[in-house]
Amino acid sequence: MKPSPHNTGGSVDLTICNSYDEPLPMGVEFDYFGPEVATNFYERRTLINPQEIVFRENRRLLYHTMDDAGISNYNEEYWHFDFGNQFDAVRTKKPYAIYGQAKLGGDK
């Protein structure tokens, strides 16, 4: 979809930091691309070690903090969140995007 959601101001990539401004461990480095970046990667694992439990809990904190604020997550990247753009409209079943395409569903 055009324009790019980051270029509209409707997308942000972020993490949560501790009180020392250090990013909480999420299991992979930011902008790493592999199956581990999916938001629910550690939710789907059946055998999970103590370190992975920390990753899972930190991702849950990030996800629920943003979800509670009404900002939707792109489930292929735990760090990517949208509000008011075309992807957010599709995920939240809103009839239109605030940023990007004026109306979803074929009208331009």
Contact call for residues 4 and 87 (beta carbons, < 8 A): no
The answer to pTM > 0.85 is no
Q: Is residue 103 part of a domain?
A: no
Residue 80: phi and psi, rounded to 5, are -100, 125
Q: Is residue 102 part of a domain?
A: no
Q: Is residue 22 part of a domain?
A: yes
Q: Is residue 106 part of a domain?
A: no
User: Among the listed ranges 9-13, 24-28, 47-51, which one has the minimum average pLDDT value?
Assistant: 9-13
Q: Is residue 27 part of a domain?
A: yes
Q: Is residue 97 part of a domain?
A: no
Q: Is residue 99 part of a domain?
A: no
Domains identified in the chain, total number: 1
Q: Which residues pair with 81 in a beta bridge?
A: 12, 73
pLDDT tens-place string over residues 32-89: 889 999 999 999 988 889 999 999 999 999 999 999 998 999 999 999 998 888 778 8
Compute the C-alpha angle 11/13/49, nearest 5°.
135
What's the domain range around 42?
5-92
CATH number at residue 10: 3.30.1380.10
